Structures are given as C-alpha cells and as structure tokens.
C-alpha cells in the first residue's frame, strides 16, 4: 500500500517548505536547485512558499546532495548569465518566421518522415499530415 500523505521539511528561518506529494502527471519536471529535471516519478518534492505551491520541484539527486546550498548557488549564477543573454537577444531580436511558415515546415518534415521512414506514399502522407491544423499555437497555458 502506498502512503500518499504529504511529508514536509521546513526551512528554519523562512516560509519555504518542501513537501513530498504523489502525482499522477508522469513527466519530467524541472529542478529548482540544479537546473536538471526529475524522471517520470510518482512522488515529487514540491517547494511551497508560505504554504502556496510555487511550481518548483527538487529532483531526487538534489535531495541526496550533501552540498545542496552550493549546487543552488552555482545554478543561480548560470540563471543570471542566461538572463543576461536573453536580455541581449531581446534587444537585438531579428525578424522571426511566421506561425504559417512554421506550420508549413512542420508539414514538410512530417510528410518526409512518413515517406522515408514509414514507407507511405507522398500523397497519403500529405493527406494525413495536411489535415492537421498548424495555424494556431499549442493548446494550453503559455509558459
């Protein structure tokens, strides 16, 4: 029997809490501490701040890290460098392909795969792939 009751660990001087929670969303979650990710685990170490979910997760490797504070500091340095790089890209952003251009390239790549790897005829692949709607971004919340 699985014990799915939360297990909490609270920082001594802050409102940050790490709680072990069962999940039914089996995906790789990004790790707050190292910048890596979890595997498709059934239990996640969720980070709460003042009792509220933060969307941050601590991966099992970081849970076992004897110098986790050092790992977090190193990751923070990498995040600051990446933020500076993103600011530079934003200042010098070139013209981007349109969503229609992306959709056409997606159709072309998918048709090519079906023809070359799966042995479909070009016409059958185009009929199947061409029916997909690539004119709207992915459904769901934007990150």
pLDDT tens, residue by residue, 115-131: 999 999 999 988 888 77
Q: Is residue 120 part of a domain?
A: yes
Considering the domain architecture, whether residues 34 and 86 belong to the same structural domain is answered as yes
The verdict on 105 and 51 lying in the same domain is no
What residues make up the domain containing 124? 99-130
> What pLDDT score was predicted for residue 34?
95
Same domain, 22 and 76: yes
Separation CA 105–CA 111 (nearest Å): 10
pTM for this one? 0.63
In terms of average pLDDT, the best of 25-29, 65-69, 98-102, 129-133 is 65-69
Inter-helix orientation angle 99-116/122-130, to 10°: 140
State whether 105 and 84 are in the same domain. no
Write a three-state SS string for the chain.
Answer: CCCCCCEEEECCCCCEEEEEEECCCCCCCEECCCCCECCCCCEEEEEEECCEEEEEEECHHHHCCCCHHHHHHHHHHHHHHHHHHHHHHHHCCCCCCCHHHHHHHHHHHHHHHHHHCCCCCHHHHHHHHHCCCCCCCCCCCCC
At 142, the pLDDT band (50, 70, 90 cuts) reads: low
């Amino acid at each position: 029997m699985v014990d799915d009751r939360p297990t909490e660990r609270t920082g001594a001087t802050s409102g940050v809490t790490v709680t072990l929670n069962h999940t039914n969303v089996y995906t790789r979650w990004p790790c707050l501490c190292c910048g890596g990710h979890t595997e498709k685990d059934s239990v996640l170490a969720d980070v709460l701040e003042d009792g509220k979910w933060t969307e941050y997760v601590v991966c099992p490797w970081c849970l076992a890290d004897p110098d986790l504070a050092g790992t977090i500091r190193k990751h923070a340095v990498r995040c600051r460098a990446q933020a500076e790089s993103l600011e530079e890209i934003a200042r010098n952003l070139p013209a981007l392909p349109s969503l229609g251009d992306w959709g056409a390239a997606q159709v072309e790549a998918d048709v090519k795969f079906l023809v070359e790897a799966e042995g479909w005829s070009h016409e059958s692949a185009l009929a199947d792939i061409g029916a997909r709607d690539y004119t709207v971004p992915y459904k769901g919340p934007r990150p």
